[in-house]
Structure 1
C-alpha cells in the first residue's frame, strides 16, 4: 500500500505527508536536469509580501490535507494544480518573500501532489530549484520534489523520501542512488537521518494499516 499524503503546517510534518504518494500515482523521481532558466527568471521579479496570495495558498493546502485526511473536498488535486499554474504565470514561483514560509510550503505541497500532470511537476521542480538557489525556498522541500519527480518516472531517488508501506513496514518506492551518500545529502537538505525518517513512517504505516 502507498500511504496517503497528509500535511501539517510545520515543514517536517509537511515533508512527511508529501513523502507518500497516492495509490493511483507514483511517489518520487531522481533529480531532473538543472533548469536552464536563471534563478531570477525562474522565480520572477522581487515582489512585496502578498497577504491575499499567502492566504489563498494556505487555504488550498488546508483543503488538500482535509481531502487526504478523509474529508472529501469539492476542489480536486487537478483544480489546485491549475490554480497554482495560474499563480506562477502571474507571480513566478511563490517565494518566501512573496508569500511567507508557510505560503511557500503550501505551493510546494500542491506541486508535490500534482502527480496527474508530470510535465507541470517537472516545471515546478526547475522553478523550486531556482528559488532555493537564491534562498527563497526550502532545500528540504526541493529534496522531496526531486524524489517525487524521479519516482514518477520510475527512476532512483536521491534522498529516500518517497516510501511505500509494506508487510514489513515502510521501504523506498524506488532504489536510492548512491545509498552510502544518502545521509550526507539529507543533512545538506536539512532532513533528518533516513533511519529516523523510516522510524517515523513506520508509525504512520501502522496507523494507516
Structure 2
C-alpha cells in the first residue's frame, strides 16, 4: 500500500469514526442551564468550524480560506478564554464541534493534551460528553504509543479493523465503553470493518 493510499484510508477512518461519535454526542437538548449564559455566536462559530473541518477532511466543499491550522489557532484562543466550551456555554453541538477540531490536531500533541485536561474537567462538572472524552483519551494515548482505554482508535489490517494500539485491561473495556455511552466494541469494530473491506485491494 502506498503512503498516499494509507493516508486516504486513515482520513476516511477518522472521518467516519468522528461522524459516528458526533452523532451520539450531539443528541439531546441544546437548552443551557441558567448558571452560564448561552453564547449563540460562539456556538455557531464552533459548529461552522466542525463543518469546515469535515469538508477539508473529506475533500468535499472545503472553504479555501480556513485550514486545520487556522481552526486550531482559533480554538486555542477559545480554550484560553473559556476553558473547555461546555454545554451551558455552547450547547452539546458546540461542545462536540470543539472536540472534533481537537481530534484533528494530530500534529500538535501538546495542544491535544491541554485540551484533554480541560475536557476532563468539563466532563467531571457535567458540562461535556463522556463519549467525546473517551475518544480524545484514546487519541492522545495512541499518539504517544500507549495503550488505549476504550479502543476507539483503530487501523485496517487487510480487511479487518483492529485497535491502533493495544487496549489496557481488555476484560473491562465493555464496562468502560458503556459508562462513556459508547456502543460495544464488537459493534464499533464491525462498523469500521465495513470501511476497511471497502478500501482493501
Q: Give the TM-score band, short-chain normalised.
A: 0.7 to 0.9
Q: Take 2:54 and 2:179, find their aligned partners in 1: how far apart are those partners?
A: 28
Give the secondary structure class of the aligned counterpart of 1:165: strand
Structure ranking higher on relative contact order (CA contacts 8 Å, 6+ apart) = 1
Q: Take 2:106 and 2:90, find their aligned partners in 1: how far apart are those partners?
A: 24
* Counterpart position of 2:44: 55
Bigger shift: 170-179 or 67-76? 67-76
Give the secondary structure class of the aligned counterpart of 1:3: helix
1:3 to 2, 10, 19: 10
Q: Give the deviation of 1:155 after TM superposition.
A: 0.7
- The answer (yes or no) to whether the contact 1:95–1:137 under 8 Å persists in 2 is yes
Q: Take 2:158 and 2:25, find their aligned partners in 1: how far apart are those partners?
A: 25
Trace 1:24-63 onto structure 2 (pairs within 5 A).
47-63=36-52
**Structure 1 or 2: larger helix share?**
2
In terms of Rg, which structure is larger? 2
Does residue 96 in structure 1 map to residue 87 in structure 2?
yes
* Counterpart position of 2:3: none
Count of aligned positions: 179
Q: Take 1:65 and 1:91, find their aligned partners in 2: how far apart are those partners?
A: 24
* Counterpart position of 2:115: 124
Calculate the aligned-residue CA RMSD, in Å.
1.9
Q: Give the deviation of 1:204 after TM superposition.
A: 2.4
Q: Give the deviation of 1:80 after TM superposition.
A: 1.1
- Is there any run of 5+ residues in structure 2 with no aligned partner, and where? 1-5, 27-34
Change (3 A) 1:97 1:207: farther
Q: Give the deviation of 1:13 after TM superposition.
A: 6.2
Does residue 64 in structure 1 map to residue 53 in structure 2?
yes
Q: Give the deviation of 1:165 after TM superposition.
A: 1.6
Q: Give the deviation of 1:130 after TM superposition.
A: 0.4
Give the secondary structure class of the aligned counterpart of 1:126: helix
TM-score by structure 1 length?
Answer: 0.80
- Residues 53-108 of structure 1 show CA distances to partners (whole Å, capped at 9, x for unaligned) of 00000000001101112224422212111110011122221001000100000011
- Residues 109-162 of structure 1 show CA distances to partners (whole Å, capped at 9, x for unaligned) of 111111111111001000000000011000000000000000010111011100
Q: Give the deviation of 1:12 after TM superposition.
A: 4.0
